[in-house]
Amino acid sequence: MSDWLEEQLSQHLNPVKAPEELGVRLGFARAKRHQVPRMMVAIAAAIVMMAGGLAANREARNGEAVQFAAADQGTIPVRLGHQASVGAEKSANLTSDVGCGACHTL
Amino acid sequence: MVLECTDRELVEGCRRGEREAFRVLFETYKDKIYSIALRFSGDQALAMDIAQDTFLKLYSSIADFRGDSQFSTWVYRLVVNSCLDHKRRSWRMIPIADELLAVMRAPGDALNAVIRTETSERVQRAVEKLPEEQRIVVVLRYTEGLAYEQIAEVIGCSMGTVASRLNRAHRALERRLANLKGAAHV
């Protein structure tokens, strides 16, 4: 056998390290959990908070717009006080998006 | 706790059912067992299966180890039997186009790395084509660096048979890898 072949076989058939999965399969190692970097969690949390804030802001503006439009057209009476006696009989078509939805509107 | 144990102590620990002894045994032999399995099969998934089978056999039959031979020889025998038990895959997908593209794109050191990987794969494929009885001798010789005498003990034949199988394997490999000679400076 040539030295060249000896060298090639020694070089390319060298021992390798067993993958960690072998230990996991045999119960000697725990499977690695996919770790999310803390920075990513913080960024995701900030995005969610900003999105929530924006949504709340938009909702408030929409509410104001509806209220002003309705008041201008006179379609919805503006009642500022509680009317407990009529609250229960109110039908669904009298409730508006603003106010407590049961007994009064703003 | 088992620390710095000899194989004999580890075997005794395993016989008593000590989990730590099993773990140390695993850590001691996992690379050897996986390497033989990988070089014999040429396939990582198959090598994992072979290695897993070998450890399961090892743990289930450790009580049968009588100490007539070295423990490492007994372990080698188990992995050789597991290798021979597993049927070789009938085909392997060789991504020729990917390799070619990698060579064309790779500059400098990266090109050398690609050539080296390619050479490794060709050597591995040439070894895979050897008959099993020659292949296992080549793997034990070049992956584990065992002496002829140890190989003979592991596979249960004479040293003359080991020498003869290695000689035939060398001739076959020399023929199959002739085109790499002079071409690959790796």
Cβ contact B73:B81 at 8 Å = no
Residues B9-25 pLDDT 10s? 888 898 888 889 999 99
Domain match, B146 and B115 both = yes
Is the residue at B129 inside a domain?
Answer: yes
Residue in chain B nearest A4 by alpha carbon: B181
Domain match, B23 and B68 both = yes
Cβ contact B169:A1 at 8 Å = no
Is the residue at B45 inside a domain?
Answer: yes
Q: How far is A22 from chain B (nearest CA, A)?
A: 7
Domain termination residue (choose one: B85, B110, B126) = B85
| ipTM for the whole predicted complex goes beyond 0.95 | no
Domain match, B73 and B100 both = no
Q: pLDDT 10s per residue in chain B (186 long)?
A: 444 568 888 888 988 888 899 999 999 999 999 999 999 999 999 999 999 999 999 999 998 888 888 999 999 999 999 999 886 543 444 444 555 455 555 555 666 677 778 888 899 999 999 999 999 999 999 999 999 999 999 999 999 999 999 999 999 999 999 888 766 544
Q: A17 contacts in B (CB within 8 Å)?
A: 31, 34
Q: How far is A50 from chain B (nearest CA, A)?
A: 44
Give the residue numbers spanning the domain of B76. Answer: 7-85
Rounded to whole angstroms, the Cα distance separating B121 from B38 reads 12
Cβ contact A23:B30 at 8 Å = yes
Domain match, B72 and B103 both = no
Residue in chain A nearest B50 by alpha carbon: A22
Q: Which two tokens stand for residue B84?
A: 């021979």
Domain match, B72 and B121 both = no
The verdict on a CB contact (< 8 Å) between B124 and A11 is: no
Is the residue at B176 inside a domain?
Answer: yes
The verdict on a CB contact (< 8 Å) between A15 and B127 is: no
Q: How far is A32 from chain B (nearest CA, A)?
A: 18
| pLDDT value of position A43 | 85
Domain termination residue (choose one: B85, B115, B150) = B85
Cβ contact A48:A55 at 8 Å = no
Domain match, B67 and B134 both = no
Domain match, B80 and B101 both = no
User: Measured at the alpha carbon of residue A43, what is the angle toward residues A42 and A46, in degrees to the nearest 5?
Assistant: 85
Q: Tally the domains of chain B.
A: 2
Place of tokens 């009298």: A94
**CATH number for the domain including B153?**
1.10.10.10
Residues B110-140 pLDDT 10s? 666 777 788 888 999 999 999 999 999 999 9
Residue in chain A nearest B38 by alpha carbon: A16
Domain match, B63 and B103 both = no
Q: A25 contacts in B (CB within 8 Å)?
A: 48, 52
Is the residue at B1 inside a domain?
Answer: no
Domain match, B76 and B34 both = yes
Domain match, B128 and B167 both = yes
Share of chain A above pLDDT 70, in %: 53
Is the residue at B163 inside a domain?
Answer: yes
Is the residue at B58 inside a domain?
Answer: yes
3-class SS of residue B3: coil
Rounded to whole angstroms, the Cα distance separating A9 from B167 reads 14
Is the residue at B186 inside a domain?
Answer: no
Domain match, B150 and B114 both = yes
**CATH number for the domain including B81?**
1.10.1740.10
Q: How far is B69 from chain A (nearest CA, A)?
A: 23
The verdict on a CB contact (< 8 Å) between B174 and A1 is: yes
Domain termination residue (choose one: B47, B64, B85) = B85
Cβ contact B128:B177 at 8 Å = no
The verdict on a CB contact (< 8 Å) between B51 and A8 is: no
Is the residue at B109 inside a domain?
Answer: yes
Q: B143 contacts in A (CB within 8 Å)?
A: 13-15
Residue in chain B nearest A5 by alpha carbon: B174
* Exposure string for B39-67, b = 16+ CB within 10 A, e = fewer: bbbbbeebbbbbbbbbbebbeeebeebee
Domain match, B101 and B173 both = yes
Half-sphere exposure of B79 (CA within 13 A, CB side): 30
> From the list B52, B119, B142, which residue is nearest A26 (CB)?
B52
